[in-house]
Amino acid sequence: MNENLDLLEINWNDLKYFLALWRYGRLSLAATKLGCTHVTIANRIEQLEKAIDTRLFYQNSKGFHLTKAGENLIPYAEKCERTLRLANENYRSGKEIRSKIRIGVTEGFSNYYLSDRLPIWVKGKDIDIELISLAGATLITSGEVDISITVGPQKGSNIIQKKLSDYTLGLFAATEYLALNKSIKTKSDLEKHSFIGYIEDQVFSDLLKYQNEIAPDLQFIYKSTTIHTQRKAVRSGLGVGILPHFVAYGDPVLSPVLPDFLLHRELWISTSKDLHQFKDLKLTWDFILNACAEEKYRFIDRKVL
């Protein structure tokens, strides 16, 4: 490595391409996110490596990965990115410019809670919301979202996070199913019934692998990657399902099965450490936290409250 490195040789714009390739792992995906070609990404990385006289990435069949030098550059590149965002926020102050807040949310929390409340709250505000609802996790460290809501806390630097809410899950079935099938009075009775659940090798977090916490020999006849389709299958009378209480809340078709059996999980909210310097981001963050605190009863089975 060149010990007499002139940092002014670095094109600071190249750090944008460096961060994108690190976050997305493939030239084509990084190019799509930045709205350029994969050739542009490759050329800018090559120029950056020439400027600092060292390799930043190595490549294998799974994509691009950081070298040790690349890992060492990450905090400096992220600091540049944050500084530019703060500068942009400063110049926006006092001007009538709408903010865009991108929120990454697990699909269950989005579909059965947040999507009903965000549109009402944001009405009349100079904020544009992009709600990314996925059967997976969107991470703050990926740079894709401004606020992320996940099952359990995230790992990474330069983020702040807080427990959004505890929540419980229970066993549910359609009233029709319970009327037509054998009664369920103990956990051993569950093995005589049909179950609905996740596809285990498609689950994005080990915290969602709760099927074996119920009983080891359950008969799963219908599996899906989303909680929405699982709920629909349970409501159809196909079998018994494991649902968060905020998903089953207020549904007249669903009845609890073994109501004393509960699973406990946590929802966490995270954002960048610069939260308090972005007014509209802070407003959105506070709204989500306050809404969940005020409606805690939707997330926790009443026996736990």
Supply the range of the domain harboring residue 218: 167-264
User: What are the strands, taking DSSP E only, across 34-157?
Assistant: 57-60, 63-66, 99-106, 127-134, 147-151
Q: What is the mean pLDDT of residues 254-262?
A: 93
CATH of the domain at 193: 3.40.190.10
Let me know whether 57 and 183 are in one domain. no
Let me know whether 257 and 271 are in one domain. no
Q: Does residue 186 sit within a domain? A: yes
Q: What is the total count of domains within the chain?
A: 3
pLDDT-wise least confident of 47-56, 166-175, 267-276: 267-276
- The pLDDT, as a whole number, for residue 201 is 75
Q: Does residue 303 sit within a domain? A: no
Domain boundary among 58, 92, 126: 92
Let me know whether 158 and 37 are in one domain. no
Q: Which residues pair with 162 in a beta bridge?
A: 269
- The pLDDT, as a whole number, for residue 214 is 81
CATH of the domain at 80: 1.10.10.10
Let me know whether 277 and 156 are in one domain. yes
The residue with tokens 């992009």 is: 130
Res. 6: pLDDT tops 70:
no
Q: Over the stretch 61-77, which tens digit does the pLDDT of each residue have?
A: 889 999 999 999 988 88
Q: What is the mean pLDDT of residues 202-229?
A: 82
Q: What is the mean pLDDT of residues 244-255?
A: 94
pTM of the model: 0.74
Encoded amino acid at 187, one letter = K
pLDDT-wise least confident of 8-17, 40-49, 171-180, 278-287: 8-17
- The pLDDT, as a whole number, for residue 277 is 78
Res. 108: pLDDT tops 80:
yes
Let me know whether 78 and 15 are in one domain. yes
Domain boundary among 29, 57, 92: 92
Q: Does residue 71 sit within a domain? A: yes
Q: Over the stretch 270-292, which tens digit does the pLDDT of each residue have?
A: 998 877 778 899 999 999 999 99
Rg, Å, the chain Cα set: 24
Alpha helix positions (H), 35-67: 38-52
Domain boundary among 92, 125, 140: 92
Residue 210 banded pLDDT, cuts 50, 70, 90: confident
- Quote the CA–CA distance of 213 and 170 in Å, as a whole number: 12
- The pLDDT, as a whole number, for residue 188 is 87
Let me know whether 47 and 134 are in one domain. no
- The pLDDT, as a whole number, for residue 1 is 46
Q: What is the mean pLDDT of residues 104-125?
A: 94
Q: Does residue 305 sit within a domain? A: no
Q: Does residue 138 sit within a domain? A: yes
Q: What is the mean pLDDT of residues 96-103?
A: 82
Let me know whether 16 and 62 are in one domain. yes
pLDDT-wise least confident of 72-86, 89-103, 119-133, 251-265: 89-103
Let me know whether 175 and 246 are in one domain. yes
- The pLDDT, as a whole number, for residue 148 is 92
- The pLDDT, as a whole number, for residue 137 is 66
What contacts 159, CB < 8 A, 6 or more positions away? 140, 141, 270, 271, 272, 273
Res. 160: pLDDT tops 50:
yes
Let me know whether 87 and 117 are in one domain. no
Whether residue 261 contacts residue 73, with contact meaning beta carbons closer than 8 Å, is answered with no
* Mean per-residue pLDDT of the chain: 87
Bigger pLDDT: 79 or 254? 254
Q: Does residue 219 sit within a domain? A: yes
What are the two backbone dihedrals, phi and then psi, of residue 92, each rounded to the nearest 5 degrees?
Answer: -75, -25
- The pLDDT, as a whole number, for residue 199 is 85
Q: Does residue 254 sit within a domain? A: yes
Bigger pLDDT: 16 or 138? 16
The residue with tokens 């950056």 is: 48
- The pLDDT, as a whole number, for residue 172 is 96
Q: What is the mean pLDDT of residues 162-180?
A: 95
Q: Does residue 1 sit within a domain? A: no
Please give the C-alpha separations between residue 80 and each of 10, 12, 14, 45, 147, in angstroms, as whole numbers: 13, 8, 11, 17, 20
- Quote the CA–CA distance of 170 and 126 in Å, as a whole number: 40
Nearest 10 degrees: Cα torsion 169, 175, 181, 183: 60
Residue 7 banded pLDDT, cuts 50, 70, 90: low
Let me know whether 135 and 270 are in one domain. yes
Q: How buried is 262 (Cβ within 10 angstroms: 0-12 exposed, 13-18 middle, 19+ buried)?
A: middle
Let me know whether 157 and 272 are in one domain. yes
pLDDT-wise least confident of 90-99, 105-114, 181-190, 249-258: 90-99
Let me know whether 259 and 179 are in one domain. yes
